[in-house]
Chain A
Amino acid sequence: MNARQCDECNPGAAGIGIGAGKTLEYKTIMITELGHFSLILAFMVAIVQMVVPMIGAHRRWPGWMAVAEPAASLQFFLTAFSFGALMYAFVTSDFSLKLVVDNSHSAKPMLYKVTGTWGNHEGSMLLWVLIVTLFGAMAAWFGGNLPPTLKARVLSVQSAIAVAFFAFILFTSNPFIRMAVPPFDGSDLNPLLQDPGLAFHPPFLYLGYVGLSMAYSFAVAALIEGRVDAAWGRWVRPWTLAAWVFLTIGIGLGSWWAYYELGWGGFWFWDPVENASFMPWLLAVLAFGFSLIGTFIVRSGLLTSVHAFANDPERGVVILLILAVFTGGALMLFALRAAAMEAKGVFGMVSRESMLVTNNILLAVGCLVVFVGTMWPIVAEMAFDRKLSVGPPFFEMAFTPFMVLIGLLLPVGALMPWKRGRFGKTLYTLRYAAILAVLAGVLAWVIQSGRSPLGPIGLFLGAWVVAGAMTDLWSRTGRGTGRGRRLMRLPRADWGRVVAHSGLGVTIFAVAGLMAWEVEDIRVAQIGDSFDVGRYTLTLDSVQEGRGPNYFTTRADVSVADQGRPIGVLNPEKRVYPVAGMPTTEAAIDYRFLRDVYVVIGDEQDNGGWVIRTYVKPLVGWIWAGSLLMALGGVLSLSDRRFRVAAGAGRRREKAVPAE
């Protein structure tokens, strides 16, 4: 029916072009329809994979447990096909699909046709479930070293998550819904999403927090299994670490701060020495639970934010329900089984272990502060009948202390020996780092005069963390000669920890510097005017009108000189996307090692001038560099053979020290 309607009213709608013939058109229709069917099939497979291996593991029936592996692969391939079909519809601008009509336009650049697939609620949920099944399939492919019952249970739990989201997609947000009458063209993707950074951050972000679903599945499976030991910790570690790396990259690409705060640390410093403690579960469960809460917040429209591009209370309620079942179920299991999994192993009040516990407490409380602050407006309105706001000033005040504490304790914790340590001794090792950090802070205090103390404090903290990480690395090389050689032969996990900690230090340093020393300038400039911002001189040379593939633009030439020496021409733009009816501002940035010059053009004034805003942003590039270092640290640690249980462990058994 759809095919006929398409032919009659809009022969070229499928993006093939007039005269391309009906066969191609039918093929397009077929592919989309096949994508829909394979999504439903994947849902069915997921239900089987959820039920059969779980029963098999309980009854010790190998045949039933063995269902999990092929099912996980099949589920992934079916979902991948479905996602591919949707992407095909976007790329060929198949306007018989409602989703494509609502979020695409034939004149949109190809890059954003592709990324438009997930630049909307339905498509992003499909991406989400694709990644859930991807992780399930990876566990099936690479989990050969897991005991069969645990593996069956992990895959079953992972599939249960997939089932919930398949049902959610198919019943409330189906991306394959057709238009009865396909229009000639679509209404374009939100122009804000037509940006490389925003285009690619959802896949990374999802790889990160859906990756945490693996940790969740392992935790729940282990709870059902009723045993958790050193081996369990080893199996989970690569999954959480990989998820954390993706999360860091995703955030680096333009993330949402809440996830950042949850994701950044708990798993990083976590070593499975003291495996039966409750922290790993709580954090894994919490992390995944919070990622679900995040989805709920975004999708429900309960809280308004720029991220809430799909506002529908009904969907929100469904996600809340999923959240309640999964977190509630896991916590209940934990309560039931906790006693059976009594922790073993002794460590002192002052030890690496206790520092890890402290770290987790600080992270968890910081996380709670963010959570309470985010939800408070709803609570206040429902419970106390007060309509109020909780904004950045609150979060800055309430959350920063926890981060500062973590920063202060980080080098101490990293240098503290396992089992039993002494504060004095560890602090003595750090004496040079401390002196360096204090010097850096004092220097910054002296150079700047009369400005906020934030810069010096941040500089002190950043230098402390970086120098602490270096001390950590150096102290691993032992004593005497040959330390340089031993440095290169240190395990990658040590390098990873040091690199990631340094990254955090660099980022702290950069944020503090940016907040304390940013220079801002707002003015009306006539064509030909020159003005000074900090040490830079800017000249507005000209302003032209122009047009891009799917927008009109007003573009300025602003030449920048550094103390009289020209360093380039910046082209800030103002765009209007006529189809979406939205203006956007494209800032022009001169990237430098120590500072960026950032120029934005505003409205034309009655007297012919233009509003120009200029910022000199010191150290911003370092924020990014810090995040990259953190991600790199994660990758290094992940590549440490001691933690890839399956790979090469047999050959180099003597390296496999279970303690660290």
Chain B
Amino acid sequence: MKRLCATLATIFALGLLAPAWAVQPDEVLDDPALEARARELSKELRCLVCRNENIDESNADLARDLRILLRERLVAGDSDEAAMAYLVERFGEYVLLRPTVNGSNWLLWAAGPLMLIVAAGLGVVYLRGRARAPAVADAGLSDTEKERLRQILEE
């Protein structure tokens, strides 16, 4: 959905102006499999001087340096994890667009599921309450309410 909206934005608004000369032809690796890995990893890395852009999309010089550095590591034979670890070691976890699940970050990752469980629990309790509500409630609107509704509808 995030992607949806990003896409929407790109198409309708930025479609005509996206500064999208990100990956340069001279950076592209000869090995397509390696290049595909580099592209995927690039999307997970933040361009440190940009406003919330990944290095795959950014046209900043730093992003270019990072792209080349990443490709060098991959060519040197690093696994995806090792290449990422290499970059995190040098630039800090700020460079990761997908936060790791360690330390306090578990709260971030668990927020959705936890909230869903809590909300679902409350919802079930609420629905059960409504299902068992006394039959009096079935009488529907009270007389005063009926009168008001009638007035409204006649206007």
Interface of B toward A, CB cutoff 8 Å: 1-9, 11-21, 23-26, 28, 43-44, 46, 51-52, 54, 92-99, 103-105, 108-109, 111-112, 115-116, 119-120, 123, 126-128, 130-131, 133, 135, 137-138, 140-141, 145, 148-149, 152-155
**A93-101, A116-124, A318-326, A343-351 - interface stretch:** A343-351
Q: State how many residues of chain A have any CB contact under 8 Å with chain B.
A: 100
Q: In whole Å, how far is B26's beta carbon from the nearest beta carbon of chain A?
A: 8
Whether B137 pairs with A346 at a CB distance below 8 angstroms is yes
Q: How far is the CA of A477 from the CA of B69 in the complex (A)?
A: 64
Q: How far is the CA of A419 from the CA of B93 in the complex (A)?
A: 51
Q: How far is the CA of A277 from the CA of B123 in the complex (A)?
A: 11
Known: A197-B13, A254-B9, A255-B9. A645 touches B152 (CB 8 A): yes
B-side contacts of A261, CB under 8 Å: 1, 5
Which listed residue (A198, A344, A393) contacts B97, Cβ 8 A? Answer: A393
Among B5, B109, B148, the one with the most A-chain Cβ atoms within 10 Å of its Cβ is: B5
Known: A386-B103, A389-B46. A361 touches B119 (CB 8 A): yes
Q: How far is the CA of A362 from the CA of B104 in the complex (A)?
A: 25
**A36-44, A328-336, A363-371, A481-489 - interface stretch:** A363-371
Whether B8 pairs with A255 at a CB distance below 8 angstroms is yes
Residue A620 lies at the interface, judged by CB distance under 8 Å to chain B: yes
A-side contacts of B138, CB under 8 Å: 345-346
Whether A402 pairs with B112 at a CB distance below 8 angstroms is yes
A-side contacts of B12, CB under 8 Å: 197, 201, 252-254, 624
Residue A397 lies at the interface, judged by CB distance under 8 Å to chain B: yes
Residue A1 lies at the interface, judged by CB distance under 8 Å to chain B: no
A-B contact pairs, 29 of them (CB 8 A): A195-B13, A195-B17, A197-B12, A197-B13, A231-B152, A252-B8, A252-B12, A256-B9, A257-B4, A257-B8, A306-B52, A344-B133, A345-B130, A349-B128, A349-B131, A361-B119, A365-B116, A390-B98, A391-B52, A392-B3, A522-B28, A586-B16, A587-B16, A587-B17, A587-B20, A600-B21, A602-B24, A645-B152, A650-B155
A-side contacts of B15, CB under 8 Å: 197, 587, 589, 598
Mark interface residues in A389-419 (1 if CB within 8 Å of B CB, else 0): 1111111111111110000000000000000
Whether B111 pairs with A585 at a CB distance below 8 angstroms is no
Can you name the residue of chain B whose Cβ is closest to the Cβ of A303? B52
**A494-502, A507-515, A535-543, A552-560 - interface stretch:** A507-515
Residue A627 lies at the interface, judged by CB distance under 8 Å to chain B: yes
Q: In whole Å, how far is B76's beta carbon from the nearest beta carbon of chain A?
A: 23
Q: In whole Å, how far is A26's beta carbon from the nearest beta carbon of chain B?
A: 39
Whether A347 pairs with B131 at a CB distance below 8 angstroms is yes
Residue A544 lies at the interface, judged by CB distance under 8 Å to chain B: no
Known: A391-B54, A507-B4, A650-B155. A349 touches B9 (CB 8 A): no
Q: In whole Å, how far is A348's beta carbon from the nearest beta carbon of chain B?
A: 5
Interface residues of A in 24-40 (CB under 8 A from B): none
Which listed residue (B19, B24, B99) contacts A390, Cβ 8 A? Answer: B99
A-side contacts of B123, CB under 8 Å: 357-358, 361
Q: How far is the CA of A584 from the CA of B21 in the complex (A)?
A: 11
A-side contacts of B23, CB under 8 Å: 522
Known: A251-B5, A365-B112. A388 touches B99 (CB 8 A): yes
Residue A442 lies at the interface, judged by CB distance under 8 Å to chain B: no
Q: In whole Å, how far is B68's beta carbon from the nearest beta carbon of chain A?
A: 15
Whether A346 pairs with B131 at a CB distance below 8 angstroms is yes
Whether A511 pairs with B13 at a CB distance below 8 angstroms is no
Residue A658 lies at the interface, judged by CB distance under 8 Å to chain B: yes
Whether A364 pairs with B119 at a CB distance below 8 angstroms is yes
Whether A254 pairs with B14 at a CB distance below 8 angstroms is yes
Whether B3 pairs with A386 at a CB distance below 8 angstroms is no
Q: In whole Å, how far is B112's beta carbon from the nearest beta carbon of chain A?
A: 4
Mark interface residues in A235-268 (1 if CB within 8 Å of B CB, else 0): 0000000000000000111111100110000000
Q: In whole Å, how far is A648's beta carbon from the nearest beta carbon of chain B?
A: 10
A-side contacts of B5, CB under 8 Å: 251, 255-257, 260-261
Which listed residue (B6, B104, B152) contacts A257, Cβ 8 A? Answer: B6
Mark interface residues in A493-536 (1 if CB within 8 Å of B CB, else 0): 00000000000000100010011000000111000000000000
B-side contacts of A361, CB under 8 Å: 116, 119-120, 123
**A81-89, A130-138, A376-384 - interface stretch:** A376-384
B-side contacts of A257, CB under 8 Å: 1-2, 4-6, 8-9
B-side contacts of A429, CB under 8 Å: none
Whether A392 pairs with B97 at a CB distance below 8 angstroms is yes
Residue A92 lies at the interface, judged by CB distance under 8 Å to chain B: no
Can you add 7 more A-B contacts, CB < 8 Å, to A372-B112, A399-B1?
A145-B155, A346-B131, A346-B138, A358-B123, A384-B104, A598-B15, A603-B21
Can you name the residue of chain B whose Cβ is closest to the Cβ of A518? B7
A-side contacts of B108, CB under 8 Å: 372-373, 376, 380, 390, 394
Known: A522-B23, A585-B20. A387 touches B92 (CB 8 A): yes
A-side contacts of B11, CB under 8 Å: 620, 623-624
Whether A388 pairs with B21 at a CB distance below 8 angstroms is no
Whether B52 pairs with A585 at a CB distance below 8 angstroms is no
Q: How far is the CA of A589 from the CA of B138 in the complex (A)?
A: 59
Which listed residue (A253, A306, A354, A384) contacts B127, Cβ 8 A? Answer: A354
Q: In whole Å, how far is A339's beta carbon from the nearest beta carbon of chain B?
A: 14
Q: How far is the CA of A252 from the CA of B15 in the complex (A)?
A: 13
Residue A178 lies at the interface, judged by CB distance under 8 Å to chain B: no
Whether B97 pairs with A369 at a CB distance below 8 angstroms is no
A-side contacts of B2, CB under 8 Å: 257, 370, 392, 395-396, 399-400
Can you name the residue of chain A whose Cβ is closest to the Cβ of B126? A357
B-side contacts of A345, CB under 8 Å: 130, 133, 137-138, 140
B-side contacts of A147, CB under 8 Å: 148
Whether B20 pairs with A649 at a CB distance below 8 angstroms is no
Whether B153 pairs with A400 at a CB distance below 8 angstroms is no
